[in-house]
Structure 1
């Protein structure tokens, strides 16, 4: 299952960023409101939390995440702090940054932090910030796309045109 340019635009539109204002082009990669390390960490988190059969995760996450934080300095700062929190845990447990860990170590680290059961809170503890800024944001982006929604059995997510036939037929099996 491949994430496309259309998926990036759908996710941005659902988040109320760029595409919602009628933007028809993808974000430029020449201007980054967050650094390369933050983007690489978001990609590494997505590789753990997205279904394993999803392809083009890196391009999707890079395009979505960079545009998502553009123009929102507070949100960009929150992403940076959450990445630093994640790296602190990675250093304590594995003597390296999150992006340098194996997929299994990355998954284990999120479990050790308790991210899966943490309440998302932008001003909370480390695991709550990681849940809010990294995990929940990535899952929101994925499942608001036609590709992600289709994987979850939602063939016609809000804002995705499909006509009357899309809601009258049953899910594909």
Structure 2
């Protein structure tokens, strides 16, 4: 199944981020330091975007946790992340911290950053870190923060989109209009 930019836009809409007016969500860029900066509490500048490395890591995590039947992951994650982070510096910093935590963990386990691992090792790293059983907590333990900012956010984006929802057998996911025909026919058309 091919994920599209439309899927990412509908997932953003379902998350309550932005709107479909104008149908133009920002796309996370591949360049570091190209985002907006604001002053932090200490008077220094901080970056309110997800940078190149963080975006690459999000794509790698998505490829590890998304079903193998899904294509178009890179563009979907870029579009969703760009819209999700736009204007939300706290979320961008949470993602950056979770990526740093994951990289430290895989550095100790595999002597490499997460994005540099083979696909099977990426899945194994998340399993060994116990991300699959950790409760998602933005201020919790390392596995909880990785679960919250990386895994759960990406899974939400996938299954809130029409294409991803159809993988789970959901006929009419949030933010996807179905109309009276879908209401009358039910899921087993």
Q: In the superposition, relative to structure 1, how do residues 51 and 172 fare at CA in structure 2: closer, same or farther (>3 Å)?
A: farther
Q: C-alpha separation between the residues in 1 aligned to 2:11 and 2:22? A: 13
Q: How many residues align?
A: 172
Q: Which has the larger radius of gyration?
A: 2
In the alignment, is the contact (CA less than 8 A) between 1:38 and 1:80 conserved in 2?
Answer: yes
Which runs of no fewer than 5 residues in structure 2 stay unpaired?
A: 36-48
Deviation at 1:59, TM superposition (A): 0.5
Per the normalisation by structure 2, the TM-score is 0.86
Which one has the bigger helix percentage?
1
Deviation at 1:101, TM superposition (A): 0.2
Q: C-alpha separation between the residues in 1 aligned to 2:28 and 2:124? A: 31
Query: Which contiguous aligned blocks of 4+ residues in structure 1 show a shift greater than 4 angstroms?
Result: 28-32
1:98 equivalent in structure 2 = 114
2:79 equivalent in structure 1 = 63
2:97 equivalent in structure 1 = 81
Deviation at 1:85, TM superposition (A): 0.6
Which runs of no fewer than 5 residues in structure 1 stay unpaired?
A: none
Q: In the superposition, relative to structure 1, how do residues 121 and 28 fare at CA in structure 2: closer, same or farther (>3 Å)?
A: closer
Deviation at 1:4, TM superposition (A): 1.0
Q: In the superposition, relative to structure 1, how do residues 29 and 87 fare at CA in structure 2: closer, same or farther (>3 Å)?
A: closer
In the alignment, is the contact (CA less than 8 A) between 2:58 and 2:77 conserved in 1?
Answer: yes
2:178 equivalent in structure 1 = 162
Q: In the superposition, relative to structure 1, how do residues 132 and 23 fare at CA in structure 2: closer, same or farther (>3 Å)?
A: farther
Instruction: Output the aligned Cα RMSD.
Output: 1.6
